[in-house]
Structure formats: structure tokens, C-alpha cells
Homo-oligomer: A and B are copies of this chain.
Amino acid sequence: MQTPVIDFINTRHDTFIDELKTLLAIPSVSALPEHAGDVRRCAEWCRDELIRIGMQRAEINETPGHPIVYAEWLGAPGGKTVLFYGHYDVQPVDPIDLWQTPPFEATVRDGALFARGSADDKGQVFMHFKALEAYLKTVGALPVNFKILLEGEEEVGSKNLDEFIASHKDLLAADVVLISDTAMFERGVPSICYGLRGLSYFQIDLRGSNTDLHSGQFGGGVVNPAMALANMLTQLKDRSGRIRIPGFYDDVVDLTEAERAEFKKLPFNEKRWARELGAPKLFGETGYSTLERITARPTVEINGLLSGFTGEGAKTVLPAVAMAKVSMRLVPNQHPEKIGDLFEAYIRDIAPKSVELKLTRMHGGKAWKASLDNPYVQAAGRAIEFGFGKSPVYTREGGSIPVVATFQDILGLPSVLFGVGLPDDRIHAPNEKLDLDNFQRGIVASAKLYEEFSTIA
């Protein structure tokens, strides 16, 4: 890689962090309607920054929801074309009181930058902005054609992305999709992710009466919807951690012996992992290792519960309603629509007649698995070795990036998942952070990656 590019990156560490802080200061929480203006402001900030660093074109595209940012540099005719995908929206920040520093005032502490979105995904998107800037501001050109697609609805199910991609196939035509929205296996173990889980997310609302009741006057005579909900949720998994929804496992391709052998090779210490999480004791599906459970096996989780009086003190209310948010993580070959149908049928079946049930399907996405001998995946391995000084391990992640399946299905493109997050980055939780050494090495590796892509036959 050309020296000026490397030099540009290595001499601007602090500047890059300051710039990133500006991006992280925008509370682009896509799930909360009151932040819709902030989400738009963040899209505009990205567009302006992309023009500033030298992209030939950058624009806001309206959708029925939050806008999509598109940018491009097409100055390498005949060369490879990379389609970079990322998201500029972030998760909500509650419980806000558990943040050590304000979520939208990025703060450097212990070699990391703490802020909502620092790792997921603004920091990793910005890493590419800086790698691109390094080429454009020094040698004045990129080694490949480069298209950028940033959405503002990743944290709420990418509702409008598939439609945008399907209706902009020519605009988005490329050779490979590049995504940096995943984590390294652990600190010092750079990784390429070759598998992701899918998602099917529901809200369950139960109503037992038309108003909250006095638990003394009515307790024992009417259904308690919170109790009915607890009963129903209990029936989702058996004591061995196996999901009880009929048909749920029908399409699951079980792990091969070879895959299970790969899992065993990874440096994973269950005891240390549990200790770091503060988990008194691990729990999961019988017959699988923790690593398999969290990346290659499906699960069902309660994401939220609400009923009755939850303030300080003792209110003797018999709640009228109870709510649960429940989501399933899916593995390759499980289809979110089909799983959603099975879930609905089961929930309707186990709901007692004493409650009124409302089921809301929030969003879903397919799982994904890549081929390890794909030349772009191999190129990414070399770039990572250049940036981080060691060859990567190949891992699977338990999270969902549904767009990876979309790129495969609609554009026919393979994806390379090159992430520099760390497992303890606390994405979606209080005190999210980005490791600054990984950020810096990631910029170098990204710049190298574009060059490696350009050499593929």
C-alpha cells in the first residue's frame, strides 16, 4: 500500500477520534419517534462528510421511514466495485442511569471511546470513511470503485431497505458487499465472520379486564394477565433449553462434525466469559457448547416485560394488561416468516380463554452463512493480517444482519463481514464502547482491503 495513505492514517489518530465524536453526538435512535429529526440530521451529517472526504456523489434518499444515504466514487473504470453497507442509526439508551458518561457525549476512557453507536455501527462506518479519505486526500483515487449504502433503520428491522435495494439494482451493482458491523472473536484475535443468525421479533399483549383492579377486591376471581403471560412464556422453552414451539426445529440444519470441530478450536473460556458477564451460572440448550448456543443454535428470548405497578413501593393492583417483547434468533435454513407463523399459532394455542390476546409481528430477518473459499473472504484475510499483524480466525455471530441475506437474494452478491468490535463492547446496552486501537488498525486494514479487492482476478 502506498506510503502517503498509511502516513495519512497514522498521523491523524486524534483528529479521527474528534471527528467521530461529532457523529456520535447525534442521538439517531431509530426506534423512538421523538428522535426522527435526529436520525435525519445524522443522515445529512454522513452525506456532508462523504462529500468532504472526496466522494464523487453523496445523497439522501427518502423512504417511508428514515432516509437512506447513498454515495459513490467510480473513478476506476474496469476495476472491481465494492458496495459498502452500514447503518447510522443506534439503539435506545435506557436504562440511562447505568451509563457512566452520557451516551451521546463520547468519552475516551481506558483506551476506548464510550458512546451509544461507537461500535454499533457508527464507529465502524467511520473507520471506512477515514480509509477512503486517506486515499482520496493523498493519491487522489481509490484502488476500486466504491459505493456506500447507509441505512437509518437497522435497529428497527430495516423495514424499507429491501424495497430500496430491489428498486435500485443498477445503482447498487457491484462485485462484493463489504460490511463492518460485527465483532472480533476477542481482543487480539482478528476475525472474519462467516455466519449470522436470523431474527423473528414479536410483541405479546394480554388483557384480562378493562381497567386495573384492586388486588384485594378482585384477586382470586379474575385472571391476572401478568400471571397468564408468565405461564405462556414458561411454555416457550423446556427445562433443557429446547424450544417447545411445534415445528420450530424442522428446518434447522444441524451442525456438522467439521463445524463443531472448528468451534472447539476457537479460544473461548466459558468460565471467564461467565465471570465477565457477571452471570452466576451459564444456562443453555443441552448438548451444545456455549459458543454453539450463542452463534449456531436458535433461541427464543424475552426482550421486555411490563405489567401493573413497577414504581417504588407496594401498590396492590391487579393489572388489566401485561406485555412481553419476545424474539427468536434463527439459524441457516429457518425462514423468519414460517417461524413467525409457527410462533403465532403456538401462542394463540397456549393463551388461556380468560385473556384477550394481541400479537404484533415486529420484524424479522434470515440467517446467513458464507463459503470460506470465496476469493473476497480470502482477500479480507490478507488485509486483516496486514492491519492487525496476524491472520484472522473464522467465526459465526449470534446477531442478525438481515441485509446480508438480502444482498445475496436480490443482488446475487457475496458479503465480506470484517468487524473490529470486541465481545465486551456492550452494544445495545449501557456503556457501549469502541476500542481505539482496533479503530486505528481497522482503518489501515480497510485501506489495505480495498487494494486487495482490486487484485482479485
Which residues of A are interface residues toward B (Cβ below 8 A)?
A: 31-33, 91-92, 94-95, 98, 155-157, 183, 197, 199, 201, 203, 207-224, 226-227, 229-231, 233-234, 236-237, 241, 274, 277-285, 290-291, 293-294, 297-299, 301-320, 322-325, 327, 329, 352-356, 362-363, 397-400, 423, 426-431
Other contacts beyond A219-B294, A220-B398, A302-B307: 8, CB < 8 A: A31-B311, A31-B312, A208-B280, A220-B299, A222-B279, A226-B233, A305-B308, A316-B428
Which residues of chain B are near A313, meaning CB under 8 Å?
A: 31-32, 92, 156, 362
- For A311, the chain B residues whose CB sits under 8 A away are 31-32, 92, 94
Which of B219, B363, B430 is A314 in contact with, Cβ under 8 Å?
A: B363
Query: In the assembled complex, which residues on chain B have CB atoms less than 8 Å from the CB atom of A155?
Result: 315
Residues of B within 8 A of A241 (CB): 220
Question: For the complex, what is the distance from the CA of A400 to the CA of B302, rounded to whole Å?
Answer: 34
A183 to B126, CA, bound (A): 65
9 pairs, A vs B, C-beta closer than 8 Å: A199-B316, A201-B316, A212-B430, A217-B397, A217-B427, A219-B294, A306-B310, A314-B363, A316-B428
CA distance A352 to B284 in the complex (A): 13
The answer to whether A219 touches B305 (Cβ under 8 A) is no
Contact at A278–B209, with CB atoms within 8 Å?
yes
Q: How often does this chain occur in the complex, in copies?
A: 2
Query: A240 → chain B, closest Cβ, in Å?
Result: 13
Enumerate chain B residues within 8 angstroms of A201, measured Cβ to Cβ. Answer: 314, 316
Are B294 and A304 in contact, with the CB atoms below 8 A?
A: no
Contact A399 B290 (CB under 8 A): no
Which 9 pairs, one residue from A and one from B, show the smallest C-beta to C-beta distance? A210-B278, A216-B399, A220-B299, A31-B313, A226-B302, A221-B294, A304-B308, A230-B233, A314-B362
- Measured CB to CB, the closest approach of chain B to A94, in angstroms, equals 7
A232's closest neighbor in chain B, by CB?
A: B230
Which of chain B's residues have a CB closer than 8 A to the CB of A274? 222
In angstroms, Cα B227 to Cα A215, docked, is 24
Given A220-B294, A283-B222, A354-B279, A316:B303 Cβ within 8 A? yes
Judging by beta carbons under 8 Å apart, are B217 and A294 in contact?
yes
Q: Which single residue of chain B is at the shortest CB-CB distance from A306?
A: B310
